[in-house]
Amino acid sequence: DVKVTQSSRYLVKRTGEKVFLECVQDMDHENMFWYRQDPGLGLRLIYFSYDVKMKEKGDIPEGYSVSREKKERFSLILESASTNQTSMYLCASSVPGQGAFNQPQHFGDGTRLSIL
Amino acid sequence: QQPVQSPQAVILREGEDAVINCSSSKALYSVHWYRQKHGEAPVFLMILLKGGEQKGHEKISASFNEKKQQSSLYLTASQLSYSGTYFCGTEHSGYALNFGKGTSLLVTP
| CATH code of the domain covering residue A82 | 2.60.40.10
Assigned domain for A19 exists: yes
What is the distance in angstroms between the Cα of B3 and the nearest Cα belonging to chain A? 10
All residues of chain B having their beta carbon less than 8 Å from the beta carbon of residue A104 are 32, 44, 47
Q: How many residues does chain B have?
A: 109
pLDDT at B49: 80
Assigned domain for A88 exists: yes
What is the distance in angstroms between the Cα of A16 and the nearest Cα belonging to chain B? 28
Please answer whether residues B87 and B31 qualify as being in contact, where contact means their C-beta atoms are separated by less than 8 angstroms.
no
Kind and range of the H or E run holding A62:
none
All residues of chain A having their beta carbon less than 8 Å from the beta carbon of residue B89 are 102, 105
Q: What is the 3-state secondary structure (H, E, C) of B41-89?
A: CCEEEEEEECCCCCEEECCEEEEEECCCCEEEEEECCCCHHHCEEEEEE
pLDDT in tens, B13-67: 999 999 999 999 888 888 999 999 998 999 999 888 876 666 666 788 998 888 8
pLDDT at B97: 87
Assigned domain for A63 exists: yes
**Ranges of chain A whose pLDDT falls below 50:** none
Q: Which domain holds residue A87?
A: 4-95+107-115
Residues B39, B30: Cα–Cα separation, whole Å: 27
Domain ranges of chain B: 4-108
Q: Of B93, B10, B99, which Cα lies nearest the Cα of A38?
A: B99
Q: Give the C-alpha distances (Å, rounded to integers) separating A110 from A26, B55, B56, B85, B86.
A: 16, 28, 27, 15, 17
Assigned domain for A100 exists: no
Report the domain count for chain A: 1
What is the distance in angstroms between the Cα of B32 and the nearest Cα belonging to chain A? 8
Name every residue in B having a CB less than 8 A away from some CB of A: 2, 29-30, 32, 34, 40-44, 47, 49, 87, 89, 91-102
Q: Domain spanning B4-108: which superfamily?
A: Immunoglobulins (2.60.40.10)
Assigned domain for A55 exists: yes
